[in-house]
Structure 1
Amino acid sequence: MLKLALFFLVISLIAGLFGFGGISTAAAGMAKILFFIAIILFVVFLVVALLAGRAITK
């Protein structure tokens, strides 16, 4: 998912460089959304792994 966010970021930068403001804004918005979804999923899986690790060691 972070690869897709990075892809949209690069598309946004290239579109902005060539003057396509609307496409650049849309691609940057998608990159931001995908980045925050990836961060949220990381935190959720980290908490689940920590809780599962404690349950196994007891």
Structure 2
Amino acid sequence: MSVHGGVSSWHPRCCRPCGFEHIYRALLDHTQSCEQCADDLTLCPAGTALRMAMRRVR
């Protein structure tokens, strides 16, 4: 992200229960509409990233 001519990073944070709830909902929404996740969960990069994020906030 560019701010006032410089580069900065954005690292959003939240409490663990809220993070888990948001990631869990996103994972449910994703897996219901992703054909790759229906076939093999391990081959979908988005599904894998969501599952890894969920493990980190547990």
Q: What TM-score does the superposition give when structure 2 sets the normalisation length?
A: 0.50
Higher helix share: 1
Q: What TM-score does the superposition give when structure 1 sets the normalisation length?
A: 0.50
Higher strand share: 2
Bigger Rg, which one: 1
